[in-house]
């Protein structure tokens, strides 16, 4: 089981900022900005490049909805969104995740 599946499974702790039946968002353990959140589908999909199935594509596209939700909820005035795909392009954890970074620290306690 990958490290993010273990977080989904609550086998290892994380600072969760959003959760529903299909998605989870939590603080990056090694933040590169004052706000650094990872948004993942609970379903284990290794890489953006492996998304071929129509339903999986929908699942991955909706990661942006969770980003909007967090931006609104936390009132973040600006952000950077990115996703790495494959280890030779910076992907360390083999479970799709969208990075949400902001130089603004959220004013709301998680």
| Residues identified as active-site | 97
Q: Which of 16, 18, 44, 85 binds Zn ion (CB under 5 A)?
A: 44
Task: Supply the minimum distance, in Å, between the C-beta of residue 55 and ligand AMP.
Answer: 23
Q: Binders of ligand AMP among 15-74, rule CB under 6 A?
A: 26, 28-30, 38
User: Which position has the token pair 């990872």?
Assistant: 38
| Whole-Å CA distances, 64 to 2, 38, 68, 104 | 23, 12, 6, 19
User: Does 6 sit near Zn ion (CB under 5 A)?
Assistant: no
Identify which of residues 95 and 99 has a Cβ nearer to Zn ion in the complex.
95
Residue keyed to tokens 């799709």: 96
> What is the nearest approach in angstroms of ligand AMP to the Cβ of residue 40?
10
Closest approach of ligand AMP to the CB of residue 93, in Å: 4
Residue 108 tokens, joined: 């709301």
Binder among 55, 92, 108, 109 for ligand AMP (CB under 6 A): 92
What residue has token string 């596209």? 61
User: 41 forms bridges with which residues in the sheet?
Assistant: 23
Residue count (the chain) = 110
């Amino acid at each position: 089981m990958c490290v993010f599946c273990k977080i989904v499974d609550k086998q290892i702790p994380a600072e969760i900022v959003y959760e529903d039946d299909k998605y989870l968002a939590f603080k990056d353990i090694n933040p590169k900005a004052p706000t650094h959140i990872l948004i993942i589908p609970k379903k284990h999909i290794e890489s953006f490049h492996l998304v071929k199935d129509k339903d999986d594509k929908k699942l991955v596209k909706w990661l942006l909805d969770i980003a909007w939700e967090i931006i609104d909820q936390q009132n973040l005035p600006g952000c950077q969104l990115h996703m790495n795909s494959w280890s030779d392009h910076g992907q360390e954890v083999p479970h799709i995740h969208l990075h949400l970074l902001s130089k603004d620290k959220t004013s709301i306690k998680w």
